[in-house]
């Protein structure tokens, strides 16, 4: 029986860090899937869709590997907040998040040949302090979060503005490690049993 190797189909260094820190062994292959943010899906389905697209694309090139895809979105009032790209949009986003609770949702997909194709999503609630215009512009111009969904990084100075989370912290960073592990264990067991047959 060969041991099944894992591939993380993601270019997020934070996902890599979460998995490594928890002791998982895997290699990394970028899917280079281009997300089309205009696609009409509710947030949960949206991130599951793109997690699966990433995994599917890598799975085609890597048979006999367990491929893990993931996609994280920041959601306010059921609308996905993308990457602001320019400071003005960043200020608008942080202004909308200020003093409120929003959702961070990650979709995670497992694909192995034609035998396994499983996707789930998890939500964490994140509550932000009421921010002054000065606090917002100071953060935007100092930390330049133009390529960060929702216009903030939970791991940089913005952490001081987050007063509460409910759910998995690692989910906000890009991978809900506890749920991931629960499904991963079962999937590995199932695939190993199939191989033995």
Residues near a second copy (CB under 8 A): 18, 21-23, 129, 155-157, 159-170, 177-182
Nearer to a second copy, 141 or 181 (CB): 181
As measured in angstroms, the least distance from the Cβ of 130 to a second copy is 11
As measured in angstroms, the least distance from the Cβ of 81 to a second copy is 21
Fill in the DSSP letter of residue 117.
E
Q: What angle do CA 109, 112, 117 make, to 5 degrees?
A: 45
Find where tokens 């490594």 sit: 20
Nearer to a second copy, 21 or 79 (CB): 21
CA distance 83 to 86: 9
Nearer to a second copy, 156 or 195 (CB): 156
Q: Which 3-state string (H, E, C) describes 26-75?
A: CEECCCCCCCCCCCCCCHHHHHHHHHHHHHHHHHHHCCCEEEEEEEEEEE
As measured in angstroms, the least distance from the Cβ of 16 to a second copy is 15
As measured in angstroms, the least distance from the Cβ of 102 to a second copy is 15
Measured over the CA atoms of residue 181, residue 19, residue 53 and residue 168, the dihedral's sign is positive
CA distance 197 to 189: 13
Active-site annotation holds for 71:
yes
Annotated catalytic residue, options 64, 71, 77, 138: 71
Nearer to a second copy, 118 or 143 (CB): 143
* Token code pair at residue 111: 């694909």
**Which residues have a catalytic role annotated?**
71
């Amino acid at each position: 029986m060969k041991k099944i190797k894992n591939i993380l189909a993601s270019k997020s260094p934070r996902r890599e860090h979460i998995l490594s820190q928890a002791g998982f062994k895997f290699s990394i292959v970028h899917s280079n899937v281009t997300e089309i943010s205009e696609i009409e899906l509710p947030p949960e389905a949206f991130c599951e869709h793109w997690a699966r697209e990433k995994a599917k694309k890598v799975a085609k090139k890597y048979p006999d590997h367990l491929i893990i895809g993931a996609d994280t979105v920041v959601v306010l009032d059921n609308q996905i907040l993308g990457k602001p790209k320019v400071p003005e949009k960043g200020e608008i986003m942080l202004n909308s998040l200020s003093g409120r609770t929003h959702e961070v949702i990650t979709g995670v997909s497992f694909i192995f040949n034609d035998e396994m194709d499983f996707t789930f999503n998890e939500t964490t609630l994140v509550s932000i302090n009421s921010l002054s215009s000065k606090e917002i512009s100071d953060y935007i111009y100092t930390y330049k979060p133009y390529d960060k969904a929702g216009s903030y990084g939970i791991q940089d100075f913005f952490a001081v503005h987050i007063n509460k989370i409910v759910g998995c912290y690692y989910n906000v960073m890009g991978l809900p490690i506890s749920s991931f592990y629960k499904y991963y264990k079962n999937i590995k067991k199932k695939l190993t049993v199939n191989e033995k047959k």
